[in-house]
Structure 1
Amino acid sequence: MLFSAISARADDGTLIGRWYAALLVADRTELSDLLAGDVRIKLDDLGVVQTKQEFIASIDDWEGAVAGAEIRHRIEKTEGGVTTVIACYDFPNNDVLMQETFAIADNRITASSQAAIAENCDSY
């Protein structure tokens, strides 16, 4: 049982790594593959909850914003099926530190939330 729990966490870490790699290059196909059909993505700072279709449609705007950027992330904890990540979005003209959560089931992201925790990545 312990082995399967460790294996699941490792798989979740791999999936989250794929998420940030796809996000960095605005890879709509990979992002779509990583998201469950009924996923809800909550953007706390904007007061928005997006469906999968809405999120993928928003990638057009994101693609311009992420050009020349770097995204660094580290997993803070995994608890109760939810993985919490600290991510630094280092854009050419500014950076922001985010706390993001991912609920994962059957190798798909079923829910995600994102909230800014600092206006720079100094504490990353």
Structure 2
Amino acid sequence: MAILSMRNGLAAVLLLLSAVATRADDAAVIDRWYAALLKTDRAALGDLLSDDARINLTDLGVVQTKQEFISSMDEWESAVAGGKIRHRIAKSEAGVVTVIACYDFPANDMLMQETFALSGEHITATSQAAMAETCDAY
């Protein structure tokens, strides 16, 4: 009976460690995403997005493929110049990560809620919606 209890306890510890490692991996993917986005690093963004990824810009009513998103980086590059992006993970569960992000641009800032579907080291889908026209609530 003691061996069974010890085995169950060990299984619970391993499960907990696995969940913590998964959250750490998810956080690393999200950190790499925002670093690449700020630098307009098309290669890094392309590596992070799965080939069939969908990017949903909810406020604009636009859904982009990976290739369309990468192609739109020329416009983004001038918009983000001199800006900062702050982000924090609000929730991470079963490969879905919700992030609160503050886009601090020289002319304005915007608070966004962004949701990422992850599969390993890849983003399979992301959606973005504005929360506020300032980052005061960040």
TM-score by length of 1: 0.98
Superposed CA offset, 1:23-80 (max 9, x none): 0010000000000000011000000110000000000110000000000000001123
Matching residue's letter, 1:94 = N
Q: Which residue of 1 aligns with 2:71?
A: 57
Question: Secondary structure of the residue that 2:59 maps to in structure 1?
Answer: helix
Could you tell me which amino acid in structure 2 is paired with residue 31 of structure 1?
A: L
Distance in 2, Cα, partners of 1:83 & 1:35: 15
- Residue number in structure 2 paired with 1:71: 85
Map of 1:28-43 to 2, 5 A cutoff? 28-43=42-57
Q: Secondary structure at the match of 2:82?
A: coil
Distance in 1 (CA, whole Å) between partners of 2:92 and 2:30 is 12
Please state if 1:107 is matched with 2:116.
no
Calculate the TM-score normalised by the size of structure 2: 0.88
Q: Distance in 2 between matches of 1:46 and 1:122?
A: 23
Displacement of 1:3 in angstroms is 1.3
- Counterpart amino acid of 1:113? S
The secondary structure found in structure 2 opposite 1:115 is: strand
Partner of 2:137: 123
Structure with bigger gyration radius: 2
In percent, how many aligned pairs have the same letter? 68
> Which residue identity is paired with 1:78?
S
Matched position secondary structure for 1:60: helix
Measure, in 1, the Cα distance between the counterparts of 2:120 and 2:103.
Answer: 27
Stretches of 4+ aligned residues off by more than 2 angstroms: none
